């Protein structure tokens, strides 16, 4: 990708990153006011800031003159001045002022400009060929902006490869052990897993009809004034989109009743590689109940903070420490059925990275979830997703 040539990262361990893809650069409110915000994304040094009209932009963070970081510079209106020798770069990446003798600006005086799309609470960045950046390829997280929903969220700096986190999320059976007594749910273990692949999307769906309310959900139902002793249909639909975006649609409803009569949430998971062994993991919980209740906000914030920071993160970081610089696949891990979804995601991603040399671009599946589920042998009465 010639756009990155002047800010070339160190040679990556393993198989590298999918370049022609949308990553999450930041939650939108990580970039505010006049701030110059530095982020390393797939080893690329990136500078994020907002123009005077509020538009967020992303350019390379290293001045092409002597590779001083622009985030140590200052704003000049919508431009950024390197504070080492004073070159000024516009939001399009080109040098717009060379304060030195003559002020000549050569074509090489530029930094990469990364396509950036603000959509709801997220800033999406395209690290590949700008000509291929198509906002229609951004995975659908419409739940973030749907009317009547409330989102809590966080960022977790994790010392592990992002695919180890993908594995974690695509195999929810880990909840019964790692999150025992909190997020664990008998339904996860007894339900059947159905993996579906379309384009650069993988679904790992579990559907558990006519069962007991799993323990963890009892207090949620009680809080909502619902009967925790009734029989329920319980669903967990996890969607993964390359390179590392996941949406879990999870909840339960009285047997045979639509989801609106039950309790459900969406959880979003956005994995942005810093490098081969470090990931910024942004997570969210989106709910449609008690949306004005700060106590419920706090409940979810504390629950997820605990589950991720105290339970998942140390385990995943321990995996990474054991692996060191080795890719897990090279160690021939023993497989269980629950690994199927994670394995498919790894295959899809490997194929996309390999295909990139031939100009292929990842494209999320477009079939709506209800149609996918209707095709499924697993679920006779699919619970329809909300978008």
| Full DSSP string of 331-355 | G-PPP-GGGHHHHHHHHHHHHHHHH
Do 126 and 114 touch, CB atoms closer than 8 A? Answer: yes
Do 245 and 271 touch, CB atoms closer than 8 A? Answer: yes
> 263: closest CA among 308, 299, 232, 305?
232
Least distance to a copy of itself from the beta carbon of 149, Å? Answer: 32
For residues 8 and 135, which CB has a smaller minimum distance to a copy of itself in the complex?
8
For residues 49 and 141, which CB has a smaller minimum distance to a copy of itself in the complex?
49
Least distance to a copy of itself from the beta carbon of 288, Å? Answer: 31
| Separation between Cα atoms, residue 152 and residue 343, nearest integer Å | 30
For residues 189 and 195, which CB has a smaller minimum distance to a copy of itself in the complex?
189
| Separation between Cα atoms, residue 85 and residue 99, nearest integer Å | 8
> 75: closest CA among 117, 31, 40, 126?
31
Sign of CA dihedral 192, 266, 39, 106: positive
For residues 39 and 153, which CB has a smaller minimum distance to a copy of itself in the complex?
39
Angle at 281 between CA 276 and CA 286, to 5 degrees: 155
For residues 99 and 258, which CB has a smaller minimum distance to a copy of itself in the complex?
99
As beta bridge partners, residue 124 has: 24, 117
Least distance to a copy of itself from the beta carbon of 358, Å? Answer: 28
Least distance to a copy of itself from the beta carbon of 299, Å? Answer: 24
Least distance to a copy of itself from the beta carbon of 221, Å? Answer: 26
For residues 328 and 384, which CB has a smaller minimum distance to a copy of itself in the complex?
328
> 282: closest CA among 241, 237, 244?
244
Angle between helices 313-323 and 162-170 (to 10 degrees): 130
Least distance to a copy of itself from the beta carbon of 13, Å? Answer: 13
Least distance to a copy of itself from the beta carbon of 369, Å? Answer: 23
| Separation between Cα atoms, residue 28 and residue 40, nearest integer Å | 16
Do 165 and 39 touch, CB atoms closer than 8 A? Answer: no
User: Look-up: residue for tokens 């499924």?
Assistant: 376
Least distance to a copy of itself from the beta carbon of 282, Å? Answer: 22
Which residues of the chain form contacts with a copy of itself (CB under 8 A)?
A: 6, 8, 10, 45, 62, 64-69, 72, 81-87, 98-102, 106, 108-109, 167, 171, 173-174, 176-178, 180, 189, 192-193, 314-315, 318-319, 322-326, 328, 331-339
Least distance to a copy of itself from the beta carbon of 249, Å? Answer: 22
For residues 66 and 375, which CB has a smaller minimum distance to a copy of itself in the complex?
66
For residues 109 and 226, which CB has a smaller minimum distance to a copy of itself in the complex?
109
As beta bridge partners, residue 206 has: 193, 236
Task: Name, in order, each residue with C-beta under 8 angstroms of 89's C-beta and a sequence gap of 6 or more.
Answer: 59, 63, 70, 79, 80, 81, 82, 95, 96, 110, 111
User: Look-up: residue for tokens 């999870």?
Assistant: 250
| Separation between Cα atoms, residue 212 and residue 378, nearest integer Å | 19
Least distance to a copy of itself from the beta carbon of 250, Å? Answer: 19
For residues 321 and 354, which CB has a smaller minimum distance to a copy of itself in the complex?
321
For residues 206 and 270, which CB has a smaller minimum distance to a copy of itself in the complex?
206
> 362: closest CA among 112, 168, 139?
139
Outline where DSSP puts E strands in 276-365. Answer: 278-287
Six token digits for residue 151? 């989102």
> 348: closest CA among 23, 18, 24?
18
């Amino acid at each position: 990708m010639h756009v990155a040539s002047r800010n070339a990262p160190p040679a990556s361990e393993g198989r590298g990153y999918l370049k022609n893809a949308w990553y999450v650069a930041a939650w939108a409110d990580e970039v505010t006011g006049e701030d110059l915000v530095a982020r390393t994304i797939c080893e690329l040094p990136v500078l994020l800031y907002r123009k005077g009209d509020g538009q967020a932009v992303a350019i390379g963070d290293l001045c092409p003159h002597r590779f001083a970081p622009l985030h140590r510079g200052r704003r000049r209106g919508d431009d950024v001045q390197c504070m080492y020798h004073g070159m000024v770069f516009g939001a399009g990446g080109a040098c717009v002022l060379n304060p030195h003798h003559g002020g000549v600006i050569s074509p090489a005086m530029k930094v990469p400009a990364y396509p950036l799309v603000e959509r709801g609470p997220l800033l999406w960045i395209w690290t590949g060929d700008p000509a291929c950046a198509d906002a229609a390829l951004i995975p659908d997280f419409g739940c973030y902006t749907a009317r009547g929903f409330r989102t809590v969220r966080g960022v977790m700096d994790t010392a592990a490869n992002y695919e180890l986190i993908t594995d974690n999320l695509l195999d929810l059976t880990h909840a019964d052990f790692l999150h025992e007594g909190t997020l664990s749910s008998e339904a996860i273990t007894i339900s059947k897993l159905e993996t579906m692949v379309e384009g650069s999307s993988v679904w790992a769906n579990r559907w558990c009809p006519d069962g007991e309310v799993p323990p963890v959900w009892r207090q949620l139902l009680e809080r909502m004034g619902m009967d925790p002793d009734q029989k329920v249909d319980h669903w967990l639909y996890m969607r993964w989109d390359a390179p590392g975006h996941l949406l879990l649609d999870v909840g339960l409803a009285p047997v045979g009743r639509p989801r609106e009569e039950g309790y459900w949430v969406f959880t979003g998971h956005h994995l942005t590689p810093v490098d081969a062994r470090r990931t910024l993991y942004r997570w969210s919980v989106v709910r449609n109940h008690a949306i004005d209740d700060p106590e419920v906000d706090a409940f979810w914030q504390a629950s997820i903070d605990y589950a991720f920071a105290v339970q998942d993160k140390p385990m995943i970081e321990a995996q990474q420490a054991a692996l060191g610089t080795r890719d897990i696949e090279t160690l021939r891990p023993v497989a269980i059925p629950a690994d199927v979804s994670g394995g498919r995601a790894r295959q899809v991603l490997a194929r996309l990275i390999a295909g990139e040399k031939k100009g292929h671009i990842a494209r999320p599946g477009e079939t709506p979830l209800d149609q996918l589920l209707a095709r499924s042998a697993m679920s006779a009465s699919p619970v329809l997703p909300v978008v």
